Amino acid sequence: MKLVCGLGNPGARYAGTRHNAGFMAVEAFCDKLNPSWFEKWESRIARVEFQGVQILVQEPLTFMNLSGFALVRAAGFFRIAVDDVIVVHDDIDLPIGRVQVKFGGGDGGHKGIRSIIEQLGSGDFARIRVGVGRPAGRGPDVVDFVLQPFSADEEKELSEAIDVVSVAIREWVVGGVPKAQNKVNRRGNPKRGEPSCPPERSDGPKDREEV
C-alpha cells in the first residue's frame, strides 16, 4: 500500500488558501478514482486503487504544524514503509503553476514538513512541491500570504499545476521518485526574479496552529 498525504489546514476558514494547495491537489487526484472519504487518525482519509496498487490518501486535520502525528498514525496502522510515503505541500519558493518532485532534504521552513520529519525521525521521504509564489515587494509577510486565497488570475495556473500533481502521483505509484521526476520536473522553469530562498519562519509554540 502507498500513502499519499496532502498538507493543509481544516475548516472553511482555510479552504482555497495557498497553504491548502496540498489538500486541493490530493482531492483532485482522488476525484478520478471514485473515492469514499471518512475520518480516522485525526485525518480525512480515502482508499483508492490505481493500476492494481492500493493507495491511502490522507489529509491531516491536526492543523499544519502537527501533521506528522496524523501521518505516522495512519502509516503505522497499515505498516506503510517510509519509502511508500509521498507528501504533497505548498511551496513559496516555486512560482504558481510550477510543480517539482523531490526526495529527502530539510523542511525549507514549512511547518508541516518539519512536523513529519520530527515524527518519522527522518527527512528521507518523497515530496511533491506545489508552487504558490511569494509576496512581492512590500506585500504581506509569508505567514499572512500563505493564508490568503489565490487570485482569479492565479487560479488557472493553479488548476494546471494540480493536474500535473495528479500525473506526478500516478508516476510515483508505478515507478517511484525517478519516474515522477522525469515526467514532471522538466516542465517549465521559475519565473525571472523568483527568489531562491524563503525567509526564516519561527517554529512557534508546539500546539495547534495553522502555519
Domains and CATH numbers, the chain: 2-184 (3.40.50.1470)
In the block, residue with C-alpha cell 505541500: 89
* Residue 186 cell numbers, joined: 522538466
Confidence of residue 139 (pLDDT cuts 50, 70, 90): low
Of residues 137 and 35, the one with the higher pLDDT is 35
Predicted pLDDT at 133: 85
The residue from 2, 18, 19, 89 that is catalytic is 19
The bridge status of strand 2-6 relative to strand 53-60 is parallel
Percentage, residues of the chain above pLDDT 70: 86
Confidence of residue 137 (pLDDT cuts 50, 70, 90): low
**Mean residue pLDDT across the chain:** 86
CA angle 147, 39, 3 (to 5 degrees): 80
The span from the CA of 17 to the CA of 140, in Å, is 14
Predicted pLDDT at 134: 81
Task: Give me the sign of the Cα torsion angle 56, 23, 108, 203.
Answer: negative
pLDDT tens column, 141-197: 777 778 877 888 888 899 999 999 999 999 999 999 999 999 998 755 444 333 333
Give CA separation, 157 vs 5, 91, 99, 154, in Å. 22, 15, 11, 5
CA angle 102, 103, 104 (to 5 degrees): 125
Q: Which residues of 120-138 are buried (b: 16+ CB within 10 A; e: fewer)?
A: beebebbbbbbbbbbeeee
Q: 125 near 85, Cβ under 8 Å?
A: yes
Predicted pLDDT at 208: 45
3-state helix, strand, coil split of the chain in percent (to 5) is: 40, 20, 40
Residue 198 predicted with pLDDT over 80: no
* Residue 122 cell numbers, joined: 527522518
Lowest mean pLDDT among 98-107, 161-170, 183-192, 201-210: 201-210
Bridge partner list, 128: 88, 101
Concerning whether 110 is annotated as a catalytic residue, the answer is no
Of residues 114 and 205, the one with the higher pLDDT is 114
The span from the CA of 46 to the CA of 81, in Å, is 18
pLDDT tens column, 45-84: 999 999 999 999 999 999 999 999 999 999 999 999 999 9
Report which of 89, 173, 103, 170 is spatially closest to residue 131, judged by C-alpha positions.
89
For 22, the 3-state DSSP assignment is helix
Predicted pLDDT at 211: 63
For 127, the 3-state DSSP assignment is strand
Percentage, residues of the chain above pLDDT 90: 66
Confidence of residue 138 (pLDDT cuts 50, 70, 90): low
For 47, the 3-state DSSP assignment is strand
Confidence of residue 140 (pLDDT cuts 50, 70, 90): low
Global pTM reads 0.86
Mean pLDDT, residues 130-146 taken together: 76
